[in-house]
């Protein structure tokens, strides 16, 4: 168990964080695109 925590757990956390970041960015892009079209802003 100690070997797992030292060697494998950091990589699993890193991979999970990267995957979570991609999902958050995709959802945020959809929200900001709709807000952008509704507000009719010219600068992006």
Residue 5 lies in a domain: no
Predicted structure pTM score: 0.54
Which residues constitute the domain of residue 23? 12-37
DSSP state of 40: T
11 has a pLDDT exceeding 90:
yes
**Beta strands per DSSP E along the chain:** none
1 has a pLDDT exceeding 90:
no
Average pLDDT over residues 16-33: 79
Residue 42 lies in a domain: no
* Domain total of the chain: 1
Distance CA 41, CA 15 (A): 36
Which position has the higher pLDDT, 11 or 22?
Answer: 11
First-to-last alpha carbon distance for the chain, in angstroms, is 49
């Amino acid at each position: 168990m100690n070997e797992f925590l030292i060697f494998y757990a950091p990589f699993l956390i890193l991979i999970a964080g990267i995957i979570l970041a991609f999902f958050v960015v995709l959802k945020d892009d959809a929200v900001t695109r709709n807000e952008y079209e509704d507000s009719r802003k010219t600068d992006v």
